[in-house]
Amino acid sequence: GSPVENVDTVIHCAARVHVMQDEAADPLAEFRKINVDATLELARSAVAAGARRFIFISSIKVNGESTPAGRPFTADDLPQAADPYALSKLEAEQGLRALARETGLEIVIVRAPLVYGPGVKGNFRSMMDWLMRGIPLPLGAVENKRSLVALDNLVDLLCTCIDHPAAAGETLLASDGEDLATPDLLRRLGAALDTPVRLLPVPGGQLEFLARMLGKRAAFDRLCGSLQVDIGKTRSLLSWAPPVGVDDALRATAADYIRRRQV
């Protein structure tokens, strides 16, 4: 039978995400298989089964890789997808909108920045590893702003999107509603982990040069660049506000991380 029998709303989270050492001969084709073709197949199954609404978790990378200081991304910006992952998410959005026009399926697109919470992996967990090892980090002089979204806030937004009439047909951005500079994030994460934070104020130009020399330009951009998200449309359209504050979310993330280390 169909995977979506007797279902009114589908929330689609599955995706092929960033592959650090991508061995695929054609990475875009691999991303398209999962992120475009499988998404549209699921959406067509949803239509056939009589589902009313399809909520698609997309990525803020559809908007672009970074923002100039004080100019956050908005939901209605022209997309600037740059890598195969972001392109596949954009193509899925476009395919879903076309399907909505054909069939009347209500599409809700939610673009999320980095999602953190209990069980977080990737760069966020690496930051916790660095802090727990007491490694001095050369990030004290970084003056950027990044939007993140706690898992609990994202789930709350998705629950709101299930039956809010105004969500139908919309593209919405998600975040915690508080943007952090990397040094601020590290200090607050250190407080949540109850560990001292050692930040060295290395000037940005020197840091960028060092990152280039070490072949770590992408990591430098993620740690030192800005990526801000304006959730004004999400707030006003859905009368929604992120229910969990950043420090509470960091404490929950840190507590889970410490529990896992002790096992």
Neighbours of 21 (CB within 10 A): 4
231 alpha-carbon distance from chain centroid: 13
List of residues 6+ apart from 176 with CB closer than 8 A: 147, 148, 149, 150, 153, 242, 244, 245, 246, 249
Q: Which residues are catalytic?
A: 85
Token pair for 11? 């929330």
**CA-based torsion, 178, 253, 240, 158: positive or negative:** positive
Query: Which of 233, 256, 255, 238 is CA-nearest to residue 75?
Result: 233
Please give the DSSP secondary-structure letter assigned to residue 229. B
List of residues 6+ apart from 11 with CB closer than 8 A: 55, 57, 158, 162
Please give the DSSP secondary-structure letter assigned to residue 49. T
Q: Strand order in 9-12's β-sheet? A: 9-12, 53-59, 106-112, 171-173
Query: Which of 58, 8, 3 is CA-nearest to residue 31?
Result: 58
Alpha-carbon radius of gyration of the chain: 19
Q: Give ∠ CA 39-117-230 in degrees, rounded to 5.
A: 70
